[in-house]
Structure 1
Amino acid sequence: MKNITFGIIGCGDVTEKKSGPAFQKLPHTTLKWVMRRNEEKLKDYARRHRIEHYTTDYKEILEDPEVDAVYIATPPYMHKFYTIEAAKHKKDVYVEKPMALSVEECVEMMEVCKAEGVKLFAAYYRRSQKKFRTVKELLGNHEIGEIRSFHYHYVNPLPQHNPDRAWLYDPKISGGGQLYDVGSHMMDMILYLFGDVGYAKGISRNQAKVLEVEDNTSGILLFRNGVQGTVQLTFNGKVNEDQMVITGSEGTLKFSIMNNEPLEIIKPNGIDEISFEELEHVQMPLISDVALAMGKESELDSTGLYGLRTQEVIEAFRDSREIRY
């Protein structure tokens, strides 16, 4: 098993627990470098996580011949820049979600990585978690028969102002508020479960008018395999809700996407529940799979295509338009 040496560009909140420690704990990854432009926060991060090499200049990481790959964990507006820079230095790329600010940026990132012969992965980490692989396996084994439809319903309250993440509600930096931040995870999971989209149409509005981004999105999706369903994302409610319902000819699956609540298998003769262990580092399973793919020991998609497809859907939903394939 080849060991993959990483550098992190942008060691902010997401790297504290969700992702960063995984590079140090997995047997086939090494974290050599971390980079951040704020030198005081950078030194504090390196000290707390016991990382010897740190820098405010990303080029130091890219010019290190021992570094095989970079994890780009900056706000989305810098994803394209650092991905292209890494590709030109022949470094594989693992980039945070959403993959970029726009479909056009995603396409450019993919084209440059392909031209430079490097791999590109987007950090939609639920794809590698046991819970969602179990759901996909149940669907593939026709546990609830032929899939008829799905409905995903998500509600959370308007976010409180966080000075450390104020950029999240600036479309020029984040792309589009919570629809891009957490909604991209939801859309990616739906695409992971059902395959290639044939048609999608959404409507988004800024109802509360507290932020400069849309806070309510409704969408419909039709997949090439005939599965169809709806999505309702309400980012301005009061009571938290998170439920995916997949209806089949012989039963129903119910589960949360953003939380770790048990999976329910509902059939005429009763309900079965499957619980899943809470992960300390939620990105660790995907980081493991990505490193194996970088070492040519797995078949994980390395083109960034799934990141692009998710981007196409959330962008269409944000802009209240339709897409057809």
Structure 2
Amino acid sequence: MDTVRWGIIGVGDVTETKSGPGFRHAERSELVAVMRRDGAKAADYARRHGVPRWYDDAEALLNDPEVDAVYVATPPDSHRDYTVRALEAGKPVYLEKPMARTTSECEEMLAAAERAELPLFVAYYRRSMSRFATVQELLDGGAIGRVHAFRVENLRPAPAAGDQVPWRLRPEISGGGLFVDLASHTLDLLDHLLGPITQVHGHALNISGTSQAEDTVSGTFQVGSAVVGTGLWCYAAGEDRDLVEIIGTEGSLAFSSFGQEPLRLRTGSGVREIEAPYPATVQQPLIQAVVDELTGVGVSPSTGTSAIRTARVVDTLLADYRSEHGFIFA
């Protein structure tokens, strides 16, 4: 195809600035239809963003002959259903992260893509951002020598207790808590920068009691035969901290996953700060890569095949916690 005409299923907050504008601004890409179960909200989104058509029924959007590909931007508990239905309707899918609640759901989606002989992409958009391309260039260029270790720390205060627990903290919807929502970004980025994680061990706890989801997770990792790492994700902490540090034989490179602070390259020559800001629409570089693949002029770095590796790591770290608390995903 020369131009990809997109339809979005689920026009919530993430589509307002993080992703939605990317489908309109990418080359050879158009946003032609949106769907939300609340028709008034779907109509409002279409009006505000100049989208020609809106629906309150997913099947209507999937059957729209002018929709070439579908972006699924709903909570994770419906990812499998909408993705399989879109693929069966003959439409490639770009899917919000995490790919699904569990690896088994991801496997069903990949099987559907294989049956349909269509591509499946996942919105781990850090793989295409220039900020992390700079990290990759420094590592590949030997700025810190041979990489042999990494550490991750992501701390945030516990969310305020309320009458209604947000869906991101409801495991039956999201697959877990903020660990699933946020840590999956960093784990996928490490997969991209260093290679697939080959061994993982860890523990998960609920400290704050503000929801049933895990809020503190620790892990140890191995990448291949020569790189080891540690991770701590605590969403019941007394401070904010966001650190990824990659350690090599000649120095280290530290950066945040979610902030825009300069990268910090530390070597025997001292410390060098490198500016690496986010784009205005954070998903646009990856959306462009997806469009490039669909139109035959490039390749996306984030696919269902890469994303399922992150799902397996998350599943391994949360397996005991899910079992102890009776979380079963049908």
AA aligned opposite 1:73: A
| Structure 1 partner of 2:54 | 54
- Is residue 153–residue 242 contact of structure 1 (8 Å, CA) maintained in 2? yes
Counterpart for residue 63 of structure 2: 63
Relative to structure 2, which stretch is displaced further, 9-18 or 56-65?
56-65
* CA positional deviation for 1:301: 5.0
Range with bigger deviation, 140-149 or 85-94: 140-149
Deviations 1:186-244 (A, max 9, x none): 11111111112221111000011121100000001101152111000011112110111
How many angstroms does 1:164 deviate by?
9.0
Do 1:110 and 1:303's aligned partners in 2 also have CA atoms closer than 8 Å?
A: no
- In 1, Cα distance between equivalents of 2:188 and 2:253: 18
**Structure 2 matches for 1:187-202, cutoff 5 A?**
187-202=187-202
CA contact (8 A) 1:37 1:57 kept: yes
Cα separation, partners in 2 of 1:163 and 1:122, compared to 1, 3 Å? farther
Q: Does 1:140 align with 2:140?
A: yes
Q: CA deviation at 1:303?
A: 4.9
8 A Cα contact 1:156 1:238, kept in partner: yes
Which 10-residue stretch deviates more, 70-79 or 22-31? Answer: 22-31
Stretches (4+) displaced over 4 A: 161-165
Q: How many residues align?
A: 321
User: 1:97 and 1:303, CA in 2 relative to 1: closer, same or farther beyond 3 A?
Assistant: closer
Q: Is the 8 A contact 1:147 1:247 kept in 2?
A: yes
Separation in 2, partners of 1:206, 1:165: 15
Q: Which moved more, 1:43-52 or 1:197-206?
A: 43-52
1:186 aligns with 2:186: yes
- CA deviation map 1:107-162 (0-9, x unaligned): 11001101101110110011100111111121122111011211111101112368
CA contact (8 A) 1:10 1:35 kept: yes
Contact 1:202 1:320 in 2 (8 A): no
Q: Is the 8 A contact 1:168 1:174 kept in 2?
A: yes
Correspondence for 1:312: 312
1:129 aligned residue: 129
Q: Which residue of 2 aligns with 1:246?
A: 246
Q: Is the deviation greater in 217-226 or in 70-79?
A: 217-226
In 2, are the aligned partners of 1:153 and 1:243 still within 8 Å (CA)? yes
1:26 is displaced (CA, Å) by 1.6
Separation in 1, partners of 2:41, 2:275: 38
Q: Which amino acid aligns with 1:134?
A: T
More displaced stretch, 227-236 vs 137-146: 137-146
Q: Distance in 2 between matches of 1:221 and 1:181?
A: 19
Q: Indicate the residue corresponding to 2:219 in structure 1.
A: 219
Structure 2: how far apart are the matches of 1:272 and 1:162? 44
Evaluate the alpha carbon distance shift between residue 303 and residue 148 of structure 1 in structure 2; reply closer, same or farther with a 3 A threshold. Answer: closer
Give me the TM-score of the superposition, normalised by structure 2: 0.93
Secondary structure of 1:221 counterpart: strand
For 1:83, give the aligned amino acid.
T
Show the counterpart of 2:26: 26
Alignment correspondent of 2:327: none
Alpha-carbon spacing, 1:266–1:160, altered in 2? closer, same or farther (3 Å): same
SS state of the match for residue 64, structure 2? coil
Q: CA deviation at 1:280?
A: 1.5
Q: Residues 59, 308 of structure 1: CA spacing in aligned structure 2 closer, same or farther, 3 A cutoff?
A: same
- Deviation track 1:254-294 (CA, whole Å, cap 9, x = no partner) reads 11011111111111111111112332211011100011111
Match in the other structure for 1:88: 88
Give per-residue Cα distances to partners, 1:15-41, cap 9 Å, x unaligned: 010000111112221000000001222
1:102 aligns with 2:105: no
- Judging changes above 3 Å, is the alpha-carbon distance between structure 1 residues 301 and 150 closer, same or farther for their aligned structure 2 residues? closer
Question: Aligned partners of 2:164 and 2:16: how far apart in 1?
Answer: 14
2:326 maps to none
Distance 1:122 1:313 in 2: 16
Q: Which amino acid aligns with 1:193?
A: L
Supply the distance in 1 between the matched residues of 2:183 and 2:279 (Cα, whole angstroms): 21
Give me the whole-angstrom Cα distance separating, in 1, the residues matched to 2:244 and 2:157: 19
Structure 1 161/75 Cα, relative in aligned 2: closer, same or farther at 3 Å? farther
CA distance in 2, matches of 1:302, 1:114: 16
2:274 maps to amino acid = I
Q: Compute the displacement of 1:66 (Å).
A: 2.2
Match of 1:204 in 2: 204
Q: 1:163 and 1:48 mapped to 2: Cα distance? A: 31
Q: 2-side partners of 1:214 and 1:278: how far apart?
A: 29
TM-score computed with the length of structure 1 as normaliser:
0.95
Name structure 1 gaps, 5 residues minimum: none
Distance 2:294 2:161 in 1: 38
| Cα distance in structure 1, aligned partners of 2:63 and 2:164 | 30
* Range that drifts further, 216-225 or 79-88: 216-225
5+ unaligned residues in a row in structure 2: which ranges?
Answer: 322-330
SS at match of 1:313: helix
